[in-house]
Amino acid sequence: MPDRARPACSRHAGSAELALAQQALHTTASLLQASEAMLHTSVAAALAIAAVSVASLPPKLNTIIQPLVAGIRREVQPALQDAAAESLAALTLLCTERTPCPNDR
């Protein structure tokens, strides 16, 4: 039994469906990227908050300060945003009490 060629309208409908599926996939991928970025900010801020709350600070503080500042600026949950701000304030107090002071000044 020979294969029959699809009618032209069927081929056009198939390419339209493919384009819609590609657009849906692109939209879903964009939403997932935004979700991942938001969750990364939240988790990094939560880890920094935990480190400050137990006063377990690394020698270099960038790994603590950057997630706290990002949590203050971009966090969508007000409770976590407030906790990041409080932790940043607590971090400044912890830094004044560090001995020896890591600053060369």
Q: Mean pLDDT score of the chain, rounded to an integer?
A: 87
Mean pLDDT over residues 11-31, rounded? Answer: 89
Question: Where do the domains of the chain lie?
Answer: 9-96
Which is nearest to 82 in space by CA: 72, 92, 94? 72
Residue 8 or 53, more confident: 53
pLDDT single digits (tens) 41-67: 999 999 999 999 999 888 889 999 999
pLDDT at 3 over 60: no
Residue 6 corresponds to which amino acid? R
Rounded to 5°, the CA angle 86-33-35 comes to: 45
Per-residue model confidence (pLDDT) at position 1: 53
Structure tokens at 69: 């500042």
Per-residue model confidence (pLDDT) at position 83: 97
Structure tokens at 63: 């790994």
